[in-house]
Structure 1
Amino acid sequence: MPLNRFPVIPAVPAVVCAVAVATATACAPSQSAAASASPGTAGVTAPTANTGSTAGTGSTTGAPGIGDPDFPGGGNGGYDVEHYDLKLSYDPASRNLAGSTTIRAKATQDLTSFDLDLHGLTVSRVTVDGTAAAFSRRDDELVVTPAGRIADGGKFAVTIGYSGVPRSLRSASLGEYGFIATPDGAFVTCEPDGAKTWFPSNDHPADKATYDFQITVPAGLTAIANGEMSGTPRTTAGKTTFVWREKHPMASYLATMTTGKFQVRTGTSAGGLPIYAAVADSFRGSLDTLIAQTGTITDYWSSVFGPYPFSSTGGVIDDHAVGYALENQTKPIYGGFSPEPAIIAHELAHQWFGNSLSVSRWRDLWLNEGFATYAEWLWAEHSGQGTADATFRRYYANEADPMWSYPPGVARADDLFNAAVYTRGAMALHALRREIGDQSFFPLIRQWTAAHRYGNVTTPEFLALAERVSGKNLTPLFDAWLFRPGRPAPVA
């Protein structure tokens, strides 16, 4: 998630995913967290892109939520998005965004209407398969009524024309996110539900899709999106168009169209992976380090976690000082600072944990943040800065840490990015490593990334795999570290 929204603790070489601007306030576990006393009772059936539909009930109205029990308004039901085609033009002077989004999807029930997520912006037209469709707005829902019924299993394309000044979102725990205007462009970081601030979407990680981006900006600016650039940017009449394509499935919150004045460099890692690095002019001195460390760390994680899941790696440093970073797919972005290697290690680990393997429901966020935080500890081990065990023990020694009251295996909707999800989640992995040994732990991680490559995952799935690989009953360990409030018993 956004890297380091929590402070770095000087005594511990770990940086929580989002460079901290404020310390998260620990809260007592929610009812659901307290009730989840063991892995066997930890969750509900994971939503997929077609849950939340009303198939089988006789209704032909797609649900306004995808089926995530803790985020009932997140995403939408009734269809599964396969591809987004975004053609957008942005003018930093007026802050106006204009263009269209075409969504190719497959119906998972008969549909006479369905919802898309869209925050603000003015919709001028909607078509379904080229025919004008009726539409209405309800809060952040765009309700589309096609001219004819879409049959269950039928594929369709909906195109939305829209424009306006995007409005970012803000939360007490995250600060500002989504489409954030800057003096020379935009800083776009969308976790958890900020994609809707700049394009209509099924804005939930349970519905992943491929993407094409065609982004036009004033000449002299750079437009950066996910995946790889197609061809050379074209400049006409004072405007330049950049075309990007992400051919691998991607959760909506990982999409970006960051724009502005950047110094850009491309290269190749020692392992042969293409790298794209861009930094704002004020960070030009960091460009060499960013591209070198990105290549080195990506290659190392490929040896630890399994093959890199995408076609390129990279990073972006913008001069918009939000004080955090986000693991935008293929191009983590760092907001207003030059990242230390631990932060880069965290964000690049997310390319496996969060990006390739995406959560099916937000309560399982520790599968992203606990894994990426533990990756920081592994990077410290690899680079001779201290063992993961020493880091674990320093955290464990603090009996008064508020994270002990927050079970990370059931992330709370009202405090999703609590430090416990990061640090205690990482501690759970280290406790597992000590219990089953390196000879089982690292093969387990590689099996996990291979089995669910480009897919969606839940906590019960990971726990079941850990027991199969280790041949051990791990219920007491996971119960203590993930599902119960309180400081677990010491690890031997």
Structure 2
Amino acid sequence: MPRQARSNETVVACLAAVTLFVWTGCRPVSIAPRAAAEGKARSGGNVAAALVFHRIEATIDPAEHRIDLRDEISFPAPKRRRRLSFALAGGLDVESLDPAYEVAEVGDGTRGARTSGSPGESVLRAWMLSPRGGSWTGRVSVPLRIRGVVHEPPQVEEGEYARAFSRTPGIIDSAGVYLSGASHWLPQLELGPFAFEIGVTVPSDWHVICQGRRLSVAKEGDRRRIVWRSDAPMQEVYLAGGPLVEYRRSGEGLTLYVFLHRADEALAARYLDAAASYLAMYSQLLGPYPYPKFALVENFWETGYGMPSFTLLGPRVIRLPFILHSSYPHEILHNWWGNSVYVDESGGNWSEGLTAYLADHLVKEGRGQGAEYRRDTLARYRSYVRENEDFPLTEFRERHSPATEAVGYGKSLMLWHMLRRRLGDEAFVAGLRRLYERGRFRRVSFGDIAEIFSEVSNRDLRPLFAQWTRRTGAPEFALQCRRLSPSRVRVRIEQIQSGAPFRLRVPVALTVEGKAEAQVVDVLVDRRV
């Protein structure tokens, strides 16, 4: 192993040891975690047996920007719907390969228009799937053929957000492929989560990466066929790749991958080492890693995406030295929060704040810089969030400006810190573990989280969550101290923000002359004064 990679592994292992000792008092492990059995729900049954299942065989032609695929979809017969609607990208056509089922385009057959001019949105066509001359019965299996062009070059989003990357709903190009649910390259029949197996034929120097476990790789002349399978319930199918060099490490039921545009063994080793350490750390802290692999994939434009079981980082980002201990653990942790415990976005995206707290903030806390990180977080909220830009956490979906980041990441992060201080580390970690255990492969809301932590702590935390997720704004304080005697001080805390007072505990540090350490007292503040 190169010296640089060995040094990095030591740093990550030490960080894991510090944070786990602080949070759980446990001895950290230094090996990759055993992957949880994929496809097992809380009941322990086989998820795939009850899911919609897609069996896909696809061929990609990068030079022509084309895809030609067969998707055999099996699902339990819908009880109350004869027709199932779905949308595909405007450049794709679909036909049924079984005369028992009909696919018809909805409308006059003309291509739709963008709902807005924003990048990242696809021109769509609407389709309807139905049985011919009858109704759905038993377990249905419908083979469809889908073919056409997907080529939306990445575009930089307009607006004030300097950190915004270029976005595309989907692209097939000689530089690579990126397809997701937003690409509308597969039918999403609104029947709930699904499992899938996909075989993809690409040029022989290409690799493509998907969720789940890689079953096989085989060269066939000047082509390569790669097969992936996910029995865990997914909400969409991601497909990313291009001309890439593969690095792999296996053990303890888990395979780690790094895919780079050009050979770089030292860089790959650093990412493999860091992935093994962070996965071990989070598995011990939260529960077993939910997937059989984790892959770092170099994209062909600048991105910072996290998908179930892999992350897609841009060529410049991936080579920044600090990414290993900032964005990388953040994207790894999303495999617990957001990519296995799914977000019920109708009630707000809670996963970004929790992920930032347990990744970006926890890394800083392990280095003794947690308080500084939180102060910076509060400063950004105060700097960027104006009254007309504020919104409650229940309305946060994703960041697209400094203000949305300050609320959806920063304010949410501080909610998790308040919860941890209220409960103590032991109960807080127990709540996180139960949230993961109960929420895996389910949609979870802030309300669900409040119920789980209330149950673990044996106290009603719903008012706490309601206050900080449904209200806008934050408290502002004025502090006055008056010495009553040599040993007595009266402290007056006043909430000076507009609107109703918040109810919270404010830590007040009192420093007594002649003593080095301050005495910290939590004061309940629920009135103006």
AA paired with 2:410? T
Aligned residue for 2:270?
Answer: 289
Q: CA deviation at 1:435?
A: 1.4
Q: 1:410 aligns with which of 381, 391, 395?
A: 395
Contact map agreement 2:325 2:363 (CA 8 A) in 1: no
Matched, 1:464 2:444: no
Aligned residue for 1:21?
Answer: none
Matched, 1:87 2:87: no
Contact map agreement 2:345 2:397 (CA 8 A) in 1: no
Q: How does 1:29-178 map to 2 (within 5 A)?
A: 82-127=52-97, 131-137=100-106, 139=112, 140=124, 141-151=126-136, 154-168=138-152, 175-178=166-169
The 3 A distance-change label for structure 1 pair 195 and 302 is farther
Contact map agreement 1:91 1:185 (CA 8 A) in 2: no
Q: 1:186 aligns with which of 159, 174, 177?
A: 177
Matched, 1:240 2:224: yes
Contact map agreement 2:214 2:229 (CA 8 A) in 1: yes
Q: CA deviation at 1:256?
A: 2.1
Structure 2 unpaired stretches of 5+: 1-49, 113-123, 159-163, 478-505, 508-529
The 3 A distance-change label for structure 1 pair 314 and 147 is same
Matched, 1:328 2:298: no
Aligned residue for 2:288?
Answer: 307
Aligned residue for 1:487?
Answer: 474
Q: CA deviation at 1:93?
A: 1.0
Q: CA deviation at 1:222?
A: 1.6
Q: 2:440 aligns with which of 453, 458, 470?
A: 453
Q: CA deviation at 1:381?
A: 4.5
Equivalences, count: 397
Tell me the distance in 2 between the aligned counterparts of 1:382 and 1:314.
26
Q: How does 1:385-396 map to 2 (within 5 A)?
A: 386-387=369-370, 389-396=371-378
Per-residue Cα deviation, 1:143-162 (whole angstroms, up to 9, x for no partner)? 1132144348x421222212
Tell me the distance in 1 between the aligned counterparts of 2:128 and 2:141.
15
AA paired with 2:276? G
Aligned residue for 1:19?
Answer: none
The 3 A distance-change label for structure 1 pair 113 and 425 is same
Per-residue Cα deviation, 1:45-82 (whole angstroms, up to 9, x for no partner)? xxxxxxxxxxxxxxxxxxxxxxxxxxxxxxxxxxx952
Per-residue Cα deviation, 1:63-115 (whole angstroms, up to 9, x for no partner)? xxxxxxxxxxxxxxxxx952122211111111111112222222443332111
The 3 A distance-change label for structure 1 pair 148 and 443 is farther
Aligned residue for 1:37?
Answer: none
Contact map agreement 1:230 1:244 (CA 8 A) in 2: yes
Contact map agreement 1:216 1:223 (CA 8 A) in 2: no
Contact map agreement 1:127 1:146 (CA 8 A) in 2: no
Contact map agreement 2:84 2:189 (CA 8 A) in 1: no
Tell me the distance in 2 between the aligned counterparts of 1:355 and 1:90.
26
Aligned residue for 2:330?
Answer: 346
The 3 A distance-change label for structure 1 pair 111 and 479 is closer
Tell me the distance in 2 between the aligned counterparts of 1:142 and 1:415.
31
Per-residue Cα deviation, 1:340-381 (whole angstroms, up to 9, x for no partner)? 322111111111111211123354322x21221112235415
AA paired with 1:294? A
Tell me the distance in 2 between the aligned counterparts of 1:109 and 1:174.
43
The 3 A distance-change label for structure 1 pair 124 and 356 is closer
Tell me the distance in 1 between the aligned counterparts of 2:333 and 2:409.
13
Tell me the distance in 1 between the aligned counterparts of 2:386 and 2:448.
24
When normalised by structure 2's length, the TM-score is: 0.68
Contact map agreement 2:289 2:336 (CA 8 A) in 1: yes
Q: How does 1:254-273 map to 2 (within 5 A)?
A: 255-268=237-250, 273=254
Q: CA deviation at 1:132?
A: 4.0
Aligned residue for 2:23?
Answer: none
Matched, 1:210 2:195: yes
Structure 2 residue matching 1:480: 3-state secondary structure: helix
Q: CA deviation at 1:489?
A: 5.7
Tell me the distance in 1 between the aligned counterparts of 2:103 and 2:186.
18
Tell me the distance in 2 between the aligned counterparts of 1:429 and 1:105.
39
When normalised by structure 1's length, the TM-score is: 0.73
Per-residue Cα deviation, 1:366-411 (whole angstroms, up to 9, x for no partner)? 2x21221112235415642522x44223322452331881222222
Per-residue Cα deviation, 1:274-325 (whole angstroms, up to 9, x for no partner)? 212211217665211111111111111101111111122222122x223x32
Q: How does 1:369-448 map to 2 (within 5 A)?
A: 369-381=352-364, 383-384=366-367, 386-387=369-370, 389-398=371-380, 399-402=382-385, 405-411=390-396, 418-419=404-405, 420-448=407-435
Tell me the distance in 2 between the aligned counterparts of 1:239 and 1:455.
38
Tell me the distance in 2 between the aligned counterparts of 1:150 and 1:354.
36
Per-residue Cα deviation, 1:113-172 (whole angstroms, up to 9, x for no partner)? 1112312233241246x62414114543221132144348x4212222121111448765
AA paired with 2:273? A
Q: Looking at both structures, which has the greater relative contact order when contacts are Cα pairs under 8 Å and sequence separation is at least 6?
A: 1
CA RMSD of aligned residues (A): 2.9
Tell me the distance in 1 between the aligned counterparts of 2:212 and 2:365.
28
Aligned residue for 1:221?
Answer: 206
Tell me the distance in 1 between the aligned counterparts of 2:471 and 2:280.
36
Aligned residue for 2:464?
Answer: 477
AA paired with 1:103? I
Tell me the distance in 2 between the aligned counterparts of 1:115 and 1:424.
38
Aligned residue for 1:251?
Answer: 235
Q: Percent identity?
A: 19
Tell me the distance in 2 between the aligned counterparts of 1:377 and 1:219.
38
Tell me the distance in 2 between the aligned counterparts of 1:439 and 1:85.
44
The 3 A distance-change label for structure 1 pair 415 and 266 is closer
Per-residue Cα deviation, 1:397-426 (whole angstroms, up to 9, x for no partner)? 452331881222222699699312222222
Contact map agreement 1:251 1:358 (CA 8 A) in 2: no
Tell me the distance in 2 between the aligned counterparts of 1:362 and 1:104.
28
